[in-house]
Amino acid sequence: MDTIIEGAIKAIELLTRGDREVLEVMMMTLLVSGTATVISVLLGVPLGLWLALTEFFGKQVLNSLVNFGMGLPPVVVGLFVSLFLWRSGPLGDLDLMYTPTAMIVAQALIAFPIVTGFSFAAILSINPKLRWRLLSMGATPWQANWLLIKEAKLGLIAAVIAGFGRVISEVGASMMVGGNIKGQTRVLTTAIVTEVEKGNFDIAMAIAYILLFITYSIVVLLTILQQEKKIL
């Protein structure tokens, strides 16, 4: 119990005095997880929309792969990305191993099926006849799709929240492809692991509080956006 209280006090102290190392780790966390989330949204929402609105042979197989990917262990993703990025791997010449870029790739792969699956469910929750009504009223396919996205805003922002929550709390893949290098690839989750290994439980708790504060703040902003009145 003392460690929990000491961690809270330490977190306030680190933030108020603007500890440089902590700020660097915070910025790296936001850069990596934020970029990975944006990439997963740009790829996952269109795919979820396409899966929901298109009938084709093998659709159930693809849907099952998306569902499987939603529960894929992050450490497995980290392993596969590592195999591709090692010097002896297919992409080894790019020299991306132990860089923020490698971490972004791994986290985007983790969030992508989550965003896709939630987006697919969000679009399916809408009246299936709505798109045809929009098209019959003169809307172009792009306009109809955009209106469907606006109508499914609640579910789509839930997809963003789920994807972001998964990657910002991720440890295994980040350590495997990023190396947890101080000042270069260390993020809040890997910093917690490092401090625990050193026996600095008060600092680990302080960083954990900071991670929770950042995550909660971003989720609150997304929730506010989610609850805004829909306009159609």
pLDDT value of residue 1: 61
pLDDT value of residue 128: 64
**Residues sharing a CB contact under 8 Å with residue 144, sequence separation 6 or more, in sequence order:** 131, 134, 135
Q: Which of helix, strand or coil describes residue 37?
A: helix
Each residue's pLDDT, cut to its tens digit, for the chain (232 residues) gives 666 777 777 788 777 787 788 899 999 999 999 999 999 999 999 999 899 888 888 889 999 999 999 998 999 999 999 999 998 889 988 999 999 999 999 999 999 999 999 999 998 888 667 777 777 777 777 787 788 888 888 889 999 999 999 999 999 999 999 999 988 999 999 999 999 998 888 888 999 999 999 999 999 998 888 776 544 4
Contact between residue 81 and residue 177 where contact means Cβ atoms under 8 Å apart:
yes
Architecture of domain 2-227 in CATH? Orthogonal Bundle (1.10)
Encoding tokens for residue 79? 């392993």
- pTM assigned to the model: 0.88
| Residue 229 DSSP symbol | P
**Spatial CA neighbour of 164 closest among 115, 119, 106, 207:** 115
Instruction: Supply φ then ψ for residue 68, to 5 degrees.
Output: -65, -40
- Region label for 199, one of left (φ > 0), alpha (ψ between -120 and 50) or beta (otherwise): left
Q: Where are the domains of the chain?
A: 2-227
pLDDT value of residue 7: 72
Amino acid at 19: D
Using the CB atoms, write b or e for 28-41: b if 16+ within 10 Å.
bbeebbbbbbbbbb
Contact between residue 24 and residue 183 where contact means Cβ atoms under 8 Å apart:
yes
**Residues sharing a CB contact under 8 Å with residue 51, sequence separation 6 or more, in sequence order:** 59, 62, 63, 66, 116, 120
- C-alpha 36/C-alpha 177 separation (Å) is 14
